[in-house]
Amino acid sequence: MPELPEVETTRRGVAPYVEGEQVDELLVRESRLRWPVPADLPQLLRGQRVLSVSRRAKYLLFHTAAGTLLVHLGMSGSLRVLRQPIPAAGPHDHIDLRLSSGDCLRFNDPRRFGCFLWSEPGETHPLLAHLGPEPLSDSFDGLLLHRLSRGRRGPVKNFIMDGRIVVGVGNIYANEALYLAGIRPDRSAGRISLARYERLSDYIKQVLTSAIEQGGTTLRDFVGGDGKPGYFAQQLHVYGRAGLACKTCGGVLREQRLAQRSTVYCVTCQR
């Protein structure tokens, strides 16, 4: 599933080709996504100029004077910019956003877990209403994590992956940040000190920023390519390395399942 850095790279990849352009047509070939595409969405968008493209959590927001188009890539979705002549659609090319420039923004989603939804001006869509702060914003820090964790007995990894606490800390980045902060992922969230949460919040920002920066090398893939940045080549410390040696102490990395997600850690370096 695309995580926050992949979605942010998608935003950066498509925004230069979409912002300032008028929507000539929204062509919906398949409306049965995770939530049905609103029947009136093509009419709402036709003739509207895309003022800006932003991101909230893992949602892409295409802002117009008439309202905002919400796009989620789901588990396997992608967006790519197509230039003239526009190639014929494939079996999973469900939606085309055709622009006044002649370019086309095409949405491909084999599993159909993505979404194309709409919100009126000044309205907060229900899917965005209860989300926590952005992890790279000033409103996210160790003090927030410490305050919200009090009384919580569940694992800290589950806690920081809860979108109501902070958005966009996916499985890869949670594993890595906890390792760098020296915190065992199965430790009770409510038993971690403020000082350790301050360290954890700093590393969450660090690993996400690093992934986004590396995404800059994949921006060309959104024009004529497959629109999929993938997971950026990183020097991962623990994720996907169960049974291998810890890069710090040389001990064997262990794996367990937390909330049905693979969790890898070092029993020596993390406590």
- Considering the candidates 12, 56, 58, 199, report the single residue annotated as catalytic: 58
Is residue 58 flagged as an active site residue?
A: yes
- Considering the candidates 2, 5, 155, 185, report the single residue annotated as catalytic: 2
* Close Cβ partners of 4 (under 8 Å, ≥ 6 residues apart): 57, 58, 135, 167, 168, 169, 170, 173, 208
Is residue 121 flagged as an active site residue?
A: no
Distance between CA atoms of residues 165 and 247, nearest Å: 30
- Considering the candidates 205, 247, 254, 261, report the single residue annotated as catalytic: 261
Is residue 3 flagged as an active site residue?
A: yes
Are 97 and 47 in contact by the 8 Å Cβ rule? The answer is no
Distance between CA atoms of residues 44 and 67, nearest Å: 8
Q: How many CB atoms lie within 10 A of CB 94?
A: 24
Is residue 184 flagged as an active site residue?
A: no
* Residue 271, annotated as binding a ligand: no
Amino acid at 181: A
* Residue 111, annotated as binding a ligand: yes
Q: Which residue has the tokens 């049965």?
A: 32
Phi, psi of 221 (to 5 degrees): -65, -15
Distance between CA atoms of residues 77 and 20, nearest Å: 24
> Which residues are annotated binding-site positions for DNA?
92, 111, 152
Binding residues: 92, 111, 152
Residues known to be catalytic: 2-3, 58, 261
